[in-house]
């Protein structure tokens, strides 16, 4: 064999070895890329499952046999994870239940209409003898009419006929108006606030409804009336905020809001609507940031000292957002995390990964037992034996969850999605378990989420506010209305009464004794009226609004 032949063979071997090494590198890169893409597919599949449930699923969380959070055991429905074949509970009144009967509308303004038998039919057609009256057969109808009235104020004037000193003419005093030079009455303005901020109607729909009832009014005119009312609500709003900020326990949450006016120092149009729900007050605050500053300002937290400025203790129920987590480092603040949030994480993991559905149902059932034990604990008096028994059941349910999370955290073969949920549970466990120290407080933050329903309906209907003052006006109206509802007051009547008081005060916000009737927590304490909850509302989307 020649030297040249051996050299060619060595060169060829090196060439193919290099090709093989490059092929192995490409294969390794391809495998790594495939692994990344598989993780991305799983991540996107999980997002699709979560978003599908949010978009197409039930709005209520009463979805399965483990939904003991909201249902009695005999009322649970089957969702594929238990007791198949058991019929689901139907909507509406249950068969055999007593019900509430027909409603009584006798308090409404009544107009009687007499309907008589034709005269030719009031006698016997054979002999002609007249029939004897036998009373009436009564039925009711309810009519709906909107009456818009134009009120013309004619102030009488008198002229002096003598030569005595003094004014030569006397004129009747100006009638009280909430806006001194305004055209609209207190009742009109109250209904305008109610329809826009409570019912969530945009101004152009309100203007169309007024036009259908005979009042053609421009949207700009209604917008100007809202701007005039803004200042009248300030005094009452400040009193509610002060009362809420001094509470010992609040539910806190936040959601986005759009303000389309350019504000110095603020990039973009995204603002944040904060809500703080206490026992007898609800406060909404509009702020351009989602930082801890609005929470610290509301509760008077001294950031430098790391404590509340007045030295009191505060319990805050919330989700796991970092702003609320930072409150745990403030001396005197005890954060309570929401069990409903952690429950949703398990449900979403089961939706995204069918192989985890049984595992998720088990966890939802454990949390459901915790809710049942907490509900039984709330129904007992603290000094009774039943309370001690319920407290033991609550501790046992919490201990069962703690034991399960520790045991499953040690399983190395657990699905990554399950590990992720358990990691969240482990990270937030202290705030979740702290409910054991406050057994009389809610396990979840649903009170704050329910309070945000009305603003969210408005956001869907008119997207936000064109001006900063309009955003703050919305927060003020929601604060006043939600506080009134929480103390058993009807919002429209409450707003009408308050604006009438503004009219009586000469177009200014009432103060002192004139304001006290509208501090609903004081009147509720005197009358003993129970607080009410905010009813859910719904509405279609529409365009932006001032």
Token pair belonging to 362: 């088990």
Average pLDDT over residues 330-336: 91
What confidence tens digit (pLDDT) does each residue in 409-457 have?
899 899 988 999 999 999 999 999 999 889 889 999 999 999 999 999 9
Token pair belonging to 538: 């719904």
Q: Are 191 and 201 in contact (CB under 8 A)?
A: no
Alpha carbons within 13 A on the beta-carbon side of 197: 29
Cβ neighbours, 10 Å, residue 213:
11
Nearest 5°: the CA angle 469, 472, 478 is 140
3 state SS of 280: coil
Q: Are 226 and 499 in contact (CB under 8 A)?
A: no
535 — pLDDT class (breaks 50, 70, 90):
very low
Q: Can you tell me the distance from the alpha carbon of 163 to that of 301, in angstroms, rounded to the nearest whole number?
A: 69
Residue in 449, 441, 280 with CA at minimum distance from that of residue 375: 441
Strands 464-465 and 249-259, how do they pair?
Answer: parallel
Average pLDDT over residues 38-65: 72
Q: Can you tell me the distance from the alpha carbon of 484 to that of 488, in angstroms, rounded to the nearest whole number?
A: 6
Q: Residue 104: what pLDDT?
A: 87
Q: Residue 450: what pLDDT?
A: 95
Q: Can you tell me the distance from the alpha carbon of 544 to that of 223, in angstroms, rounded to the nearest whole number?
A: 13
Token pair belonging to 112: 């009687």
What confidence tens digit (pLDDT) does each residue in 251-302 have?
999 999 999 998 888 889 999 999 999 999 999 999 999 999 999 999 998 8
Q: What is the mean pLDDT of the chain?
A: 86
Q: Residue 545: what pLDDT?
A: 45
Q: Residue 263: what pLDDT?
A: 86
Nearest 5°: the CA angle 472, 473, 478 is 100
Strands 307-308 and 301-302, how do they pair?
Answer: antiparallel
pLDDT at 185 over 90: yes
Read off φ and ψ for residue 256, nearest 5 degrees: -80, 155
């Amino acid at each position: 064999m020649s030297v040249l032949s051996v050299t060619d063979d060595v060169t060829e071997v090196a060439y193919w070895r290099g090709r093989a090494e490059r092929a192995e590198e490409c294969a390794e890169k391809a495998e790594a890329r495939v692994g990344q893409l598989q993780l991305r597919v799983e991540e996107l599949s999980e997002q699709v499952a979560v978003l599908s449930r949010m978009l197409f699923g039930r709005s209520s969380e009463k979805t399965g046999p483990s939904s003991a959070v909201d249902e009695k055991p005999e009322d649970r429905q089957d969702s594929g994870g238990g007791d198949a074949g058991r019929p689901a509970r139907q909507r509406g009144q249950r068969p055999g239940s007593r019900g509430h009967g027909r409603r009584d509308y006798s308090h409404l303004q009544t107009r009687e209409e007499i309907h008589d038998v034709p005269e030719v039919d009031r006698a016997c057609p054979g002999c002609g003898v007249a029939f004897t009256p036998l009373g009436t057969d009564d039925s009711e109808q309810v009519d709906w009419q909107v009456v818009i009235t134009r009120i013309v104020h004619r102030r009488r004037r008198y002229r002096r006929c003598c030569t005595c000193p003094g004014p030569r003419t006397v004129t009747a005093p100006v009638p009280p108006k909430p806006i001194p030079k305004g055209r609209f009455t207190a009742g009109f303005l109250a209904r305008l606030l109610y329809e826009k901020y409570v019912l969530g109607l945009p101004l152009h729909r309100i203007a169309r409804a007024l036009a259908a009832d005979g009042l053609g009014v421009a949207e700009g005119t209604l917008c100007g009336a809202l701007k005039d009312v803004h200042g009248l609500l300030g005094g009452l709003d400040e009193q509610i905020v002060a009362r809420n900020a001094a509470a010992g326990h609040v539910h806190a949450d936040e959601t986005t809001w759009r303000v389309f006016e350019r504000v110095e120092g603020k990039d973009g149009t995204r603002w944040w609507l904060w809500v703080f729900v206490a026992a007898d007050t609800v406060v909404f605050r509009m702020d351009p940031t989602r930082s801890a500053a609005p929470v610290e300002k509301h509760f008077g937290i001294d950031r430098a000292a790391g404590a509340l400025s007045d030295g009191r203790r505060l319990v805050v129920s919330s989700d796991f957002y970092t702003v609320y987590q930072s409150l745990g480092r403030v001396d005197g603040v005890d954060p309570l995390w929401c069990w409903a949030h952690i429950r949703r994480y398990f449900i979403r993991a089961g939706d995204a990964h069918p192989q985890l559905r049984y595992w998720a149902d088990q966890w939802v059932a454990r949390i459901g037992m915790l809710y049942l034990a907490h509900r039984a604990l709330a129904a007992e008096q603290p000094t009774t034996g039943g309370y001690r028994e319920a407290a033991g059941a609550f501790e046992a349910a919490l201990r069962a969850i703690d034991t399960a999370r520790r045991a499953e955290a040690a399983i190395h073969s657990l699905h990554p999605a399950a590990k992720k949920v358990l990691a969240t549970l482990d990270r937030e466990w202290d705030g979740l378990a702290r409910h054991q120290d406050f057994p009389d407080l809610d396990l979840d933050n649903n009170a704050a989420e329910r309070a945000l329903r009305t603003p969210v309906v408005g956001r869907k209907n008119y997207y936000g506010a064109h001006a900063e003052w309009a955003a703050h006006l919305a927060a003020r109206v929601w604060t006043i209305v939600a506080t009134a509802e929480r103390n058993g007051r009807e919002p429209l009547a409450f707003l009408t009464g308050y604006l009438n008081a503004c009219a009586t005060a000469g177009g200014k916000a009432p103060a002192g004794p004139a304001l006290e009737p509208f501090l609903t927590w004081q009147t509720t304490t005197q009358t003993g009226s129970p607080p009410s909850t905010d009813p859910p509302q719904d509405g279609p989307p529409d365009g932006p609004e001032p």
